[in-house]
Amino acid sequence: MEATKQDIGEAASTAPDALAFLEAEHRAVEKLFTAFEKADDLEAKAALAQRACEELSIHTMLEEELLYPAAQEALPDSDRVDVEEAYIEHFLVKTLIAKFETLRAGNRGFDATFKVMSEMVDHHIEEEERELFPELRKSKCNLRALGEKMTKRKAELQLKLDEVGSRSVGDTTTTL
């Protein structure tokens, strides 16, 4: 389903708070990881890896553009270490996502790369939800407004992805 500019405005007006929004995204990517583990045909694995990479790319942009700056502003210095660690974890996951530009399902290292990426993301999710999110809930950060910004930005990024066309893992012709 392709997003339109009208959809972007409507999505923002019905947005959950930022942390509920991100937790829902976390559950969606975890489902992709589980489906990949169960898949035994190369076409399914390629499609699941592609979708996971797209979802993670958009998700990291949302966190880096919106969540982390808001967290750095709202949290005391002692909690900012969690945010700095999250940036580093994102860098590592983006490095693995980039590896899928040249890997194809069935290639040596494809499954291992996906497994390492999913383990890193699972660790990242656990830390965010156990440490960062509770601290943000206690802060003065306006999570509802942040959720609206995230919902709108995700719709914009999805629209851009729809415009360039979803790419297969291994296709280096399009990027966000």
Tens of pLDDT along 125-153? Answer: 999 999 999 999 999 999 999 999 999 99
Q: Which two tokens stand for residue 99?
A: 């590896």
Q: Which two tokens stand for residue 113?
A: 């790369």
- In-domain check, residue 148: yes
- In-domain check, residue 156: yes
Nearest to 54 by CA among 83, 34, 25: 25
- In-domain check, residue 172: no
What is the model's pLDDT at position 26? 97
| Mean pLDDT in residue range 40-55 | 95
Domain that holds residue 48: 5-163
- In-domain check, residue 174: no
DSSP 147: H
- In-domain check, residue 176: no
- In-domain check, residue 170: no
- In-domain check, residue 173: no
CA distances from residue 12 to 20, 57, 58, 147, 156 in whole angstroms, order as listed = 14, 20, 16, 8, 11
How does residue 37 score in pLDDT terms, banded at 50, 70 and 90?
A: very high
- In-domain check, residue 175: no
**What's the mean per-residue pLDDT of the chain?**
87
Number of domains within the chain? 1
**End-to-end CA, the chain:** 18
How does residue 5 score in pLDDT terms, banded at 50, 70 and 90?
A: low
DSSP 78: G
